[in-house]
């Protein structure tokens, strides 16, 4: 557009908004005032008295001087006057005026973890003024004491605190709505998993609970279905009131998986849900929240951002789930979790799920759950799923690709429907290995922290739908990736800890199915194989003689003062691992 035409348009806007006082219109008026129809061409900067004049330089670029001092919300740059929204000076009153009038809030730049929720103060609740909550919807079925004892013993279930709940042994005994029972029948499920049997009893009775269970045990339905019952017994959520159910998850992948389950069963009862997490547009997510969902699944950081900005409040929240709480604490989210819980009414119901029971989890449970029931499915220590066949091969780094290609050829010769998840340690390695596999004619895609959320979602969708058979991933997918039909997990690079190893291989053999895990071990991993051998023995797996020899060689060298197998030999760099 010629400059003259653009200036004529600006003059029109200036006169149109001349007498309008709304902040956005004020911005347009101020912006228009910056233009002056001076047609002079100057090569040098004007003096201070000519600071507000518009001039056109020889390259026909529009050039602006500094704006009036009283309008501080916009500051010019050398290349362009208009700065990105997140780069402007924060003006709280301006933001509130816009949002109150129905406009979306302005979003600031991403902040460090320690800054999240810095301006959020703990809410003070008047118990007497709170609307009483209805939380107990459990109708106990007649189950003999002998059957209860047999159930707990056969599934190795122990109750560490509180009274032992009566398990729900059939879906229909839980008194879920008919629509939910029909969906469960369509899924082909006959009986609840052990954690569901016990978890439903506690959740439906309104008790706080801590559930310690391995991955793939069906705990998502263990808290989502009681949440739907809880919602149906509360007053209807009005626009702007906030959710009734809040689920906190450590990763965006896990949050999206939980939300998908909540959506499938929630839509049967007219219950809305949404998911908020980092890496996606705040504007889009804020619109979803404004629609008044009863269930919000969130990662702690984005949730605190929205609470601080006034996009969401938790005044109506009465049912809280902390999924994979140990993982959230490992990632340093404890301060954020405490901030979030401080915004929720004190008589809420909290369900905490974890794979382990470390001291940090115990302290969090004692601080916020107060009186709770702790249920352990199996051991409280992290153990590998016994349904997984664990294969360990010792090799040189140069042999890894050959062994992997042979294993994949063997798997796909048996069935073309195999799904393979391959773990590597770094983002660079993920891209390199994906490229090599595609050159071999295999359908492989990579997922890691450098991928945009849009690409990650598309990749996971392709893997779930079977369009892609092979997914190469960093540990970003070791938790939260819930694909029931993964038949093979490959540790192309062995992880740093045995816990990470167990969570990786736990992506297969889900929902009581069988699975296989292959781990490629090199001399650089020799310092970690003692823990690996322990995991194999506890799961009833054979320990290869090559692994024992490698461990013996490491111990022998260490006794002589050599550090050949020291940790740095793995060349692992955490900055490049996600």
Are the folds of 127-377 and 388-558 the same? yes
d(CA 474, CA 476): 5
pLDDT at 541 (0 to 100): 93
d(CA 408, CA 471): 12
User: pLDDT of 131-170, one tens digit each?
Assistant: 889 999 998 888 899 999 999 999 989 998 888 999 999 9
Q: Among residues 348, 277, 313, 249, which one has the least CA distance to residue 120?
A: 313
**Residue 533 predicted with pLDDT over 80:** yes
Would you kindly state where each structural domain of the chain is located, as residue ranges?
127-377, 388-558
* Structure-model confidence comparison of residues 127 and 117, the more confident one: 127
User: pLDDT of 537-548, one tens digit each?
Assistant: 988 999 999 998
157-161 vs 372-377, strand pairing mode: antiparallel
Tell me the CA distances in angstroms from 264 to 154, 233, 302, 433, 510, one per residue in order. Answer: 32, 20, 24, 35, 19
pLDDT at 43 (0 to 100): 39
Residues 6+ apart with CB under 8 A from 180: 225, 228, 265, 268, 269
Instruction: Identify whether the C-beta of residue 295 lies closer than 8 Å to the C-beta of residue 214.
Output: no
Q: How many CB atoms lie within 10 A of CB 331?
A: 16
- Residue that the structure tokens 């339905």 belong to: 221
Q: What percent of the chain has pLDDT over 70?
A: 74
pLDDT at 113 (0 to 100): 55
What is the token pair recorded at 501? 């190893």
pLDDT at 132 (0 to 100): 86
Residues 6+ apart with CB under 8 A from 460: 253, 447, 471, 481
User: pLDDT of 81-91, one tens digit each?
Assistant: 333 434 434 44
d(CA 232, CA 266): 11
Q: Which helix (H) or strand (E) holds 520?
A: strand 515-521
d(CA 387, CA 384): 9
What is the token pair recorded at 535? 């995991």
User: Which CATH number is associated with domain 388-558?
Assistant: 3.40.50.300
What is the token pair recorded at 275? 């998911």
Q: What is the CA angle 304-308-310, rounded to 5?
A: 115
> pLDDT grade, residue 303 (50/70/90)?
very high
Instruction: Identify whether the C-beta of residue 200 lies closer than 8 Å to the C-beta of residue 192.
Output: yes
What is the token pair recorded at 37? 């129809």
3-class SS at 519? strand
d(CA 46, CA 328): 57
User: pLDDT of 343-352, one tens digit each?
Assistant: 999 999 999 9
**Residue 561 predicted with pLDDT over 60:** no
pLDDT at 548 (0 to 100): 85
What is the token pair recorded at 539? 């799961």
User: pLDDT of 203-252, one tens digit each?
Assistant: 999 999 999 987 777 899 999 999 999 999 999 988 888 999 999 999 89
Give the predicted TM-score (pTM) of the model. Answer: 0.69
> For residue 393, which phi and psi values (nearest 5 degrees)?
-125, 130
User: pLDDT of 473-492, one tens digit each?
Assistant: 998 766 667 787 899 999 99
3-class SS at 257? helix
Query: What's the fold here for domain 127-377?
Result: Rossmann fold (3.40.50)
What is the token pair recorded at 388? 């997984």
> pLDDT grade, residue 457 (50/70/90)?
confident
pLDDT at 475 (0 to 100): 83
Which of 23-27, 321-325, 472-476 is the least confident region? 23-27
Instruction: Identify whether the C-beta of residue 350 lies closer than 8 Å to the C-beta of residue 322.
Output: yes
Sheet holding 157-161, edge to edge: 157-161, 372-377, 208-212, 349-354, 319-322, 245-248, 295-298, 273-276
């Amino acid at each position: 557009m010629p400059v003259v035409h653009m200036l004529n348009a600006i003059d029109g806007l200036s006169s149109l908004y001349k007498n309008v006082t709304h902040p956005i219109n004020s911005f347009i008026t101020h912006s228009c005032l910056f233009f002056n129809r001076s047609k002079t061409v100057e090569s040098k900067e004007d003096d201070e008295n000519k600071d507000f004049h518009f001039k056109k330089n020889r390259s026909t670029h529009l050039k602006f001087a500094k704006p009036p001092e009283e309008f501080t919300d916009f500051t010019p740059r050398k290349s362009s006057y208009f700065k990105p929204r997140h780069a402007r000076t924060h003006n709280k009153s301006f933001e509130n005026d816009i949002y109150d009038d129905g406009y979306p809030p302005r979003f600031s730049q991403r902040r460090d973890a320690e800054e999240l929720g810095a301006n959020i103060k703990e809410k003070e609740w008047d118990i007497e003024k709170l609307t009483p909550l209805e939380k107990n919807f459990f109708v106990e079925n007649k189950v003999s004491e002998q059957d209860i004892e047999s159930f707990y013993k056969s599934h190795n279930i122990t109750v560490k605190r509180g009274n032992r709940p009566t398990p729900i042994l059939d879906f229909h005994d839980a008194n879920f709505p008919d629509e939910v029972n029909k969906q469960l029948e369509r899924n082909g499920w006959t009986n609840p998993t052990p954690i569901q049997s016990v978890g439903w009893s506690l959740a439906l009775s309104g008790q706080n609970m801590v559930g310690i269970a391995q991955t793939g045990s069906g705990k998502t339905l263990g808290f989502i279905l009681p949440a739907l019952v809880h919602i149906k017994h509360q007053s209807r959520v009005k626009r702007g009131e906030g959710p009734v159910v809040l689920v906190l998850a450590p990763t965006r992948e896990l949050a999206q998986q939980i939300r998908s389950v909540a959506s499938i069963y929630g839509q049967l009862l007219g219950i809305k849900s949404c998911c908020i997490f980092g890496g996606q547009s705040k504007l889009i997510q804020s619109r979803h929240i404004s629609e008044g969902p009863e269930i919000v699944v969130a990662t702690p950081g984005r949730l605190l951002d929205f609470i601080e900005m006034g996009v969401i409040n938790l005044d109506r929240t009465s049912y809280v789930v902390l999924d994979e709480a140990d993982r959230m604490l490992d990632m340093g989210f404890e301060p954020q979790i405490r901030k979030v819980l401080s915004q929720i009414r004190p008589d809420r119901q909290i369900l905490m799920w974890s794979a382990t029971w470390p001291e940090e989890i115990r302290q969090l449970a004692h601080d916020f759950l107060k009186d709770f029931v702790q249920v352990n499915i199996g051991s409280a220590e992290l153990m590998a799923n016994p349904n997984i066949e664990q294969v360990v091969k010792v090799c040189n780094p140069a042999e890894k690709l050959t062994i992997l290609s042979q294993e994949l050829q063997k798997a796909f010769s048996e069935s073309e429907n195999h799904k393979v998840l391959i773990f590597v340690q770094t983002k660079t390695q993920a891209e390199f290995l994906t490229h090599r596999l595609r050159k071999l004619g295999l359908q492989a895609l990579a997922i890691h922290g450098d991928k945009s959320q849009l690409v990650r979602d598309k990749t996971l969708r392709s893997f779930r739908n079977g369009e892609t058979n092979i997914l190469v991933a960093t540990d970003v997918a070791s938790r939260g990736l819930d694909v029931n039909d993964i038949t093979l997990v490959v540790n192309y690079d062995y992880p740093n800890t045995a816990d990470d190893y167990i969570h990786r291989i736990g992506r297969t053999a889900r929902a009581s199915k069988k699975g296989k895990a292959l781990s490629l071990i090199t001399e650089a991993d020799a310092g970690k194989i003692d823990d690996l051998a322990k995991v194999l023995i506890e799961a009833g797996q054979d320990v290869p003689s090559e692994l024992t020899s490698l461990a013996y060689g490491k111990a022998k060298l260490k006794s002589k003062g050599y550090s050949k197998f020291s940790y740095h030999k793995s060349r692992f760099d955490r900055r490049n691992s996600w």
